[in-house]
Structure 1
């Protein structure tokens, strides 16, 4: 089986790589990194240096594959050294808003566009992107976090749209949007104080949950927005 993890050097992405290699040592595992790759699994992973926001770079990467079985996009943006989730309208800045869209939504569109032929060549193609429950419009009762919420809502619409097109062109495919829960990674670190007891998950637990969802995934549920426990979330 051939698997590609976008963001294999991140918290969730690295745990996904470790668990895939532990449970399926015969797997051909590819992973991307932007700046620094992890060295502890360097002999078992085929690494690719890719800017996931660049269509040219994603196109070049896709050209290296004739077929692929699973793709997992584990890259996301919540804050930068100078910007974080907005508490009110006055905190919103256009550049940060667009950066959220560029990192959290656009790559899934580009991956689907350029890897569709590779996935179609598989007998069980799966494409999963990490989303977030705060991207749910129906579930939004608190407001705030304008850029992050909007980018994840846009991501969810892309997943739904792609699933409709692929159900006609690629009926064996299953594409999913998955909320991993609050994970103990640098992305969530500034906000962990407000997480209820028992709801801050290790990257290893989250990776296990995601892989369990993919293993059970069926084309009948393509285009779904799922929580880490497999429950369907409202759009």
Structure 2
């Protein structure tokens, strides 16, 4: 009651001001992670895109407005050489983390160091799995993908997983394993609300290196610019 014994009507016109998050640390182009030498090589990518669902983590527009927007591309040695086209437009909002020889569990462990709580991540691209298929244990691979899926959902980002490309000269068992995992990965991404990037026939057009598993110089350029376009769209 106001002074004098009369009721006073109070409206809800004011807003609470949120304190801006601290500026994120500077981003350096290049691979800042140690070599994970497993002796396995991975195949390059392709391009058929399935749009991911909106992140399930509850972040209001007021919260994300005060956070630095960043897109991260993380994965195995296929990403080597893509740093310049992806990051050069704005190194403060883009990062490529190449982990040569990495497996699914290595990427899951690395994400704790890569993702900064002070930043907002509208998109996270992940290319991993080729080295895991060397064991031809599809159930274990699926289990590790599921664990990675639980981890990335904590970041509240839209996540896009890449198709695992076939490898040459490793036997029919390895080929069957990759085909089975890819079929499952596509379904799982759709069920979990993740994006799925299928590179299709792109790298059958002379963009692979002589070993049949890595990209040629031209292949890295094509793949790097294709990823750069996806990153630009995620930040726009």
Question: By percentage of residues, which structure has more helix?
Answer: 1
- Whose RCO is larger (CA < 8 A, sep 6+)? 2
Q: Which structure's CA Rg is the greater one?
A: 2
TM-score between both structures, scaled by the size of structure 2: 0.48
